[in-house]
Structure 1
């Protein structure tokens, strides 16, 4: 099996880049379906429309219905067919972007991804996470190619709620540890092969950047400042983690995240927040050294990521609930089986409970 690295066709990051979207887009199509939330359009829609003036690409705006599910994907395919669109542009958060990628895949068109937040590593990947209409994880849709372009306007992202960028740090936190586990198992990555040296180097750089710049970036964002630390964290959350997870592989942390989607009380938590707790749980499963575990839990506490079940929204912890999470995480098709040892629901249950205990311990120190 070959070593494979996937990446977007082009990655652009900088302040004010969203106003140039029209110029970029005309290189990919003549009529773009722009998928955006209603609130997103109110904030930046005018800026986007102005950027398409005097370009060779016209636009059709459509509001996202809130969930990356098959019903929404099929609805937007119908819009594209009716309007004659030959390009999809997703502007917003992870579920909008995943939906845009899926629609472009089924319509065989280019796709341009424009995150307005840095809350997940989804933007750069050839992957869409499909949920049910009620928000329960359903499946991964693996795509034959990555987005044609990813555009990150750091001015817009820096104005988003700080919690969203912190959530992106939680998603990125898993990248190195999952890639390390996949390498130990000699398992296949989301790119369909074995990880490359480049992918593993980017995954490690992602982790190192979080440790060095994460707290600084959070404090700067809380002060309303877009500093070099913020720029580095945006890149780590998006590009480094995006390439790192896809070409390095997924393992325990994301599978445990998927398990938590079965608990309704966790639905208000962001993807990266659940992944962060999944990362701690994976480290417990691996029986990692105490200093490594302490570093990761300490980082999560410092930036405000959840380290206990209560912080995830599970006020009443019962064996029945946590076993339901563990069993879902161990689904035959999920990535927990990329861990380099046998994993059972009973082991995952024990690791979740221990992770919660460690989190409570460190928060009480």
Structure 2
């Protein structure tokens, strides 16, 4: 067993911290996944013994702070932590409700902590592991709230900049100060980076640190609640020259001017950004290499959103996804708009007008239209009629 190189425990229920005490004896272990093991809150110090370790996934666990021992893993290339939903789990992403969530968590945690503390005081000699875990879970939740940590990112240890082999890192909470940003700037081999905890005190440091990561091709920025990212990304930003994928989750209000200057941007996803529709789409439509655009819940503000795709816009776009946008009323495509669009996905945009689709027949490269949610029969007939007129005969699918 100690010669094992891959240990995948993803989603294992009932796995606890104490079950991993011997992990440091698996000296040849290169890959460890604890993804989705919700009862894991700490990594044992013996993890630092894994001199050949290359991939570590602790996302979806209760870990809110990475241990100091992790900086001993000099060959580590892939490190995922925090609680990040899958891309297709749109309905679970309700960032605008995060403030209420934290209030409820705090109330529930205080109650649970008091109860667990009382139990421990009355049972000083118990060895009941389950009760200790309940107490620990309550304590972790409360501490994370008090320290201003969110449920999506983790705090990185001092010295993480020594992990020179890292090419994938996220999601790191940078709210703790300048130190963590200085460390991140040392990770010059990073290709993918996810950050949360961005605010007006550290925003310049965040932009400066990421600008110096020359090999970075994927960047995710996330802040829950209010004020979110409003005013945090407005500064001048010399984006990494190889940046191809950008995800922005959180209240943004205004699209940063530097987005228009990302020469190789191919993928963009927006969620809860609360942008103005017309001016933002005008900027995005000029991105010459943009191939995938995902617009999720509350990416635009307004109760009557009308998407008009003009001639010559989005010249390279192949995938367009609109998900959980309650205010969407219509989508119209002018002749010559989005000439390379192959996949149009509309998910749970249930307020689209019966005649809300127009110009679908003029999309020359369209292969598939996917519709998820409940829609009126008149809308479906209108859409089917347009698809039938499309020379490419795209498929209409439901999900």
| TM-score range relative to shorter protein | under 0.3
Q: Whose relative contact order is higher, 1 or 2, with alpha carbons under 8 Å and at least 6 apart?
A: 1
- Whose strand fraction is larger, Structure 1's or Structure 2's? 2
- Whose helix fraction is larger, Structure 1's or Structure 2's? 1
Higher CA-based Rg:
2
User: What TM-score, normalized to structure 2?
Assistant: 0.26
